[in-house]
Amino acid sequence: MSTGSTPESAPKAQPKATAVLAPWVFWPAAGLVIAITAFSIIAPKIANTVFTTLQSNVISSFSWYYVLITAFFVAFALWLGFSRFGDIKLGKDDDKPEFSMISWISFLFAAGMGIGLVFYGVAEPLSHFANPRPGVTGTEIELAQKAMSQTFLHWGVHAWAIYVVVGLALAYAIHRRGRPISIRWTLEPLLGKRIRGGWGNLIDVIALVGTVFGVATSLGLGVLQISAGLEQAGVAEANLTTQIVVIFVVVGFTILSLVSGIGRGMKWLSTTNLLLAAVLLVFLLIVGPTAFLFREFVQSMGNYLQNFLGLSFTVSAYAGVAGEQWQASWTTFYWGWWMSWAPFVGVFIARVSKGRTVREFVGGVMLVPTVLTFLWFSVLGGNAIYRELYGQGGLIGADGSVDADSALFDLIGGLPAGTALTFGVILLIGIFFVTSADSGALVMSMIATGGSTEPPKALRIFFALLASFLAIALLITGGLQTLQTAAILSALPFSIVMLMICAATVTAFSRERRAYDRAQRAQFVDHIGDFYGLEVEEPSLREPSKPLRAALERLRKKAVKTGDGISQRTLDAIIDDDKLAPPDNLAQADAIVEDEVETVQAAEAEKKTKGKPENSKD
């Protein structure tokens, strides 16, 4: 999936980070990607063997892991939205949403449109219909319904829950905490100051490498489909040479736009592309079996919801090697692809969500793009399946195969104005290619500079070229299968980062909620007597809790043992003499002791200074 809107259209984050290259992020990430790219181009057969072996091992050993953590991300996102954290604002307390609800929804819709939807819009439902998941049986009608439900699973709330995990943590760090736009800051509540050093660099390297592979996967899918469209139109053959030429032409246009400074043109291209996608959707809805498509959309939504839990945890465990291969080509590939795209999409949706609450963010991000995506697949995939069931067919090969590269062009080629539609779809994919390369390069450059909102053009050009050459290398190595393998493998380390982000988000939200609760309790204690006529103990009269008292006693014993008289007297005042208000926790007690030590030391230093003769010399 790639966004159809560029991050330039999003608001600028504050404070603005300076565009200084982070060497311990840039060089390890760039070096690793360049090494893999060079290896794949120089020795494609060996690289293909390596990728295939890695994919086989990862799928056989970790397919359950991808399915389990993705289901966890869905549950986690929904829990955050419905929990007591839901009213936390992604911004300062008095910040209003930067965009109206309609504009914000349009941004989320843009985030859901991209090369992936165009590539798989016809191909995936048709593939699941012709070649169901191993173990799935039934009549043609039943298989058609199951095909749509399986497609909805891959493109529904699971994908957007992954983006919520990263996007929500980023939005909180950027708008609430005022941090730069970099993945490392999502883990600040968990790692503290260590995020500024090696740990933070490692996290950004993992995010950067994953994003490069995610962008390269999308570019590879786009060029596969463009070359198939050119062959359908009789312009060129769909071979590796054509694909490489297409990549260089489109990336050349992207670089030209960066060098010439026509960045606003990218926003115009993004808007134009959304309109083209809408025109294609409406056209297919009108010329196709309109009533059937609406019925199929509603029914498929219901079937998806009915089978949601079962589909969410399916790993084809009893289907043997065939099940593993199917998982690698579909579910595991998608979950890996979405995770590798999470930094990119997360940055986009975070930047446009300033002033929203956590509940609004979770609901909007998980609901709006999902419904629109379901409509897209219902119209494109529904047209294809209807044609196979009740029409002239021809979209499925005699051997039951579906050509994913050309499936969309095969469908529209038989419609009125088929040739014009073919060139229109090629233009649609080409513009998605340009905007994906441009906005992907921007996000990668942000990460490589520690969060700069305006990274150098040269750096953006470098990352656009890097992702393009990686896409070429993966196509040379093995085409679609290698692209899928790259997405799965690059997501594995970042999935661990995402689990840490979940823990960090809960930590940050819990701290904020406790702070608000303490403030509310303090206000309640101050005014309870006025309203209810109750006598409430002063804070200095309240006893510390038993666990806290035990911890304070240990601190006092340590002070006695080390001869730290100041700390001992301070703890005596807290524990025995009731001269100081008891702290809420041990960290607060440490702070009280440190303050008292500093106060006493400062007083003693001042006393010595006053007692010293003015004409004395050291």
Omega of the bond prior to 15 within 30 degrees of 0, cis?
A: yes
- pLDDT for position 141: 94
- Tell me the helices (H) and strands (E) count for the chain, helix number first: 22, 0
Over residues 253-267, the pLDDT tens digits come to 888 877 765 555 666
Q: What is the pLDDT of residues 506-546, one digit of tens each?
A: 999 998 888 777 776 666 655 555 544 444 444 444 455 55
181-210, pLDDT tens digit by residue?
Answer: 999 999 999 998 899 899 999 999 999 999
Instruction: Compute how many other C-beta atoms are within 10 angstroms of the C-beta atom of residue 529.
Output: 11
pLDDT (mean) for 36-59: 88
Q: Which string of DSSP letters, residue by residue, matches 226-244?
A: HHHHHHHTTSS--SHHHHH
Q: Quote the tokens at residue 429.
A: 């994919």
Integer Cα distance of 570 and 54 in angstroms: 61
Higher pLDDT, 323 or 603: 323
Distances (CA, A) of 71 to 103, 128, 157, 382, 509: 30, 21, 10, 27, 22
Strand partners, 357: 89
Which residues have a Cβ under 8 Å from the Cβ of 484 and sit 6 or more positions away?
55, 217, 328, 329, 333, 337
Give the model confidence (pLDDT) of 68-78 as tens digits: 999 999 999 99
Q: From the CB of residue 514, how many other CB atoms can be counted at a distance below 10 Å?
A: 12
Across 144-161, average pLDDT: 96
Instruction: Give the number of other CB atoms < 10 A from CB of residue 388.
Output: 18
Q: The whole model's pTM is what?
A: 0.80
Task: Pick 113 or 184 by higher pLDDT.
Answer: 184
Residue 89: beta bridge partners?
A: 357
Q: How far is CA 211 from CA 247, 369, 398, 466, in A?
A: 18, 21, 38, 11
- Residue pair 450/20 in contact by the 8 Å Cβ criterion: yes
Residue 398 DSSP label: T
What is the distance of C-alpha 97 from the center of its chain?
21
- What digits encode the pLDDT tens for the residues 265-289? 666 777 788 888 899 999 999 999 9
290, 218, 275, 285: which is closest to 424 by C-alpha?
275
The predicted model gives 136-154 an average pLDDT of 95
Nearest to 165 by CA among 59, 71, 305, 304: 71
* pLDDT for the residue numbered 16: 47
Model confidence pLDDT, tens digit, residues 451-470:
888 889 899 999 999 999 99
pLDDT for residue 577: 52
The separation between the first and the last C-alpha atoms of the chain, rounded to the nearest angstrom, is: 72
- Where are the alpha helices (H) located in 177-315, listed in sequence order? 188-191, 198-232, 240-260, 263-287, 290-306, 308-312
Q: Which long-range contacts (CB under 8 A, 24 or more apart) does 426-431 make?
A: 426/226, 426/229, 426/230, 426/233, 427/276, 428/118, 428/273, 428/276, 428/277, 428/280, 429/115, 429/118, 429/119, 429/222, 429/225, 429/226, 429/229, 430/222, 430/226, 430/250, 431/269, 431/272, 431/273, 431/276
What's residue 550's pLDDT?
A: 67
Task: Please give the helix or strand (H or E) that residue 101 lies within, else none.
Answer: helix 101-112
Taking only Cα atoms into account, the Rg of the chain, rounded to an integer number of angstroms, comes to 29
Measured between alpha carbons, how far is 244 from 153 in angstroms, rounded to an integer?
33
Question: Above 60 in pLDDT, residue 58?
Answer: yes
SS3 315: coil
Percent of the chain scoring above 70 in pLDDT: 82
The confidence score (pLDDT) of residue 82 equals: 93
- The string of DSSP letters for 489-544 reads HHHHHHHHHHHHHHHHHHHHHHHHHHHHHHHHHHHHHHHHHHHH------GGGSPP
